[in-house]
Amino acid sequence: MTYAIISLGGKQYRVQEGQRLLVDRLAHEEGKTFHPAVLFVGGNGSSEFSPKGTQVTVKVVGSALGEKIRIGKYKKRTGYKRHTGHRSQLTQIEITAIGATKAAKPKTEKATAEKPAAEKPAEAKPKTPAKPRAAAKPKTKAEPAEAKAEPAEANEGAE
């Protein structure tokens, strides 16, 4: 495989083996390796979208600061001036390998047999069934409008 497209920090990068990149600050320490999400692998006349079992190995080389960006706002004849700036924190990475397949570690029978009985988890107790919820109480209905209107009509006739 000659190149791959990986996803780091919400951005996509086209990378080749041995290439160095400056990307947005990553949470990995200097000298550590990690495997970003692989979106595409291509080259040598073949290509594959979202390959399963293929990974890209990336090593963190160091950290750096991006170029300083200066921002100025100005409105004439009002005395309005504002200055601000920004300097990105970046991580330098190196692509060490492309196309290495993920290898699952085989479990040996000796490793599982050597564990003492004290380390084995106790059998889980079966859960008791959940209690049914109490039935909701019916809401009381408000008096009909006619019942409220009758006493008012009775007072009118008495006058």
Range with the lowest mean pLDDT among 32-36, 130-134, 141-145? 141-145
Domain edges within the chain: 3-102
Q: What is the largest CA-CA distance in the chain?
A: 105
Q: Of residues 52 and 123, which shows the higher confidence score?
A: 52
SS3 category, 48: strand
Compute CA distances 93 → 26, 88, 100, whole Å.
Answer: 10, 16, 18
Average pLDDT over the chain reads: 82
Residue 146 is predicted with a pLDDT of 59
Residue 51 is predicted with a pLDDT of 87
Residue 39: name the closest of 23, 56, 22 by CA.
56
R_g over Cα of the chain: 35
Does residue 134 carry a pLDDT above 70? yes
pLDDT tens-digit map of 1-53? 589 999 999 999 999 999 999 999 999 999 999 999 999 999 888 888 988 88
pLDDT tens-digit map of 78-97? 999 999 999 999 999 999 99
Backbone region of residue 149 per phi and psi (left: phi > 0; alpha: psi in -120 to 50; beta: other values): alpha
The answer to whether the pTM exceeds 0.75 is no
| Residue position matching structure tokens 């040996």 | 108
Q: Of residues 74 and 136, which shows the higher confidence score?
A: 74
Range with the lowest mean pLDDT among 4-8, 12-16, 55-59, 105-109? 105-109
Alpha carbon 95 to chain centroid, angstroms: 23
Residue 51: name the closest of 40, 43, 62 by CA.
40
